[in-house]
Amino acid sequence: MTEAEWILTFDDGPLAADMVDATGLSDAELLTPLDQILETLATHPEGPIKAVFFVRGPAYPWPTPPPDSAFQKGIDRILDEGHFIGLHAYRHDPELWWNWLTRAPEITEDLDRCRAYFEPMVGADITVFRPPYGQGGIPAFDWAQENNVKYHLMDVDTEDWKHHPDGLNLLWENDPVGHLDYMLHFLPSKMWFHTLSPGANDILFHVSERTAGFLDRLIERVSEATRLLGHEPKYVVPSEYVRIS
């Protein structure tokens, strides 16, 4: 049985994307979803699995920005577990990223700000980037080229974002089981083409309270679907994905 390689990637961390108000929460409470995700990656029967976390800054959507200490602790926990950090955005605002044709200077400024915020926490250059919503267009791509940063989109979208505050208002907003069933049903069809593609393929998740509760079952489904398609799953982070050569 030939192998199919998957890269598990998580947008929006280290704090949860569906945590709409961080006011008054301790660092431990803010980081609970991340801790659950890290625990699943470390202890899952298919693991331990290494992943890439594309992190976003404190500017959006929280009405009161969370403390820098929570972000630093989250970055430290990701790195301590042997995972990798990429840039996502400082201000995760759909009005900015979807309107890239007219807001190129703001996108450049946001990415500069994101890099300046997170690189001191990491203690090294961050060399991979994914734009919010897969948008940002030419300005985001040009920024990555000019800053010697790898620009990544994704290959397989789990659609775990659909219950987030800036996602689609779907019927299963308050139906976690229905949302999980939806993702499990559609994952195999989304994965089919990519099991035939050479090299490792990127599966997109998000750091969120909902995904933290689903992640073990989603990884099981990825493995089940891969084997049903005639391949053995292998979870990897290739050096060429995260490093500038």
pLDDT in tens, 201-214: 999 999 999 999 99
**Amino acid identity, position 62:** W
The amino acid present at 124, given as its one-letter code, is: A
- Which of the four CATH numbers 3.30.413.10, 3.20.20.370, 3.40.640.10, 3.40.50.880 does domain 2-242 have? 3.20.20.370
Using only C-alpha atoms, the chain has a radius of gyration, in whole angstroms, of 17
CB-based contacts of 231, cutoff 8 Å, min separation 6? 1, 2, 3, 4, 195
**Would you state the structure tokens that stand for residue 52, as one six-digit string?**
């890439």
Q: What is the pLDDT of residues 47-93, one digit of tens each?
A: 999 999 999 999 877 888 899 999 999 999 999 999 999 999 999 98
pTM: 0.95
Q: Is the peptide bond before 165 cis (omega within 30 degrees of 0)?
A: no
* Pair type for strands 2-13 and 51-56: parallel
* Contact criterion met (CB below 8 Å) for 66 and 58: yes
Q: Are 219 and 187 in contact (CB under 8 A)?
A: no
Cβ atoms of residues 154 and 201 within 8 Å: no
Give mean pLDDT, residues 134-141: 95
**Distance between CA 17 and CA 93 in Å, rounded?**
12
The pLDDT tens digits of the residues spanning 151-174 come to: 999 999 999 988 766 555 555 567
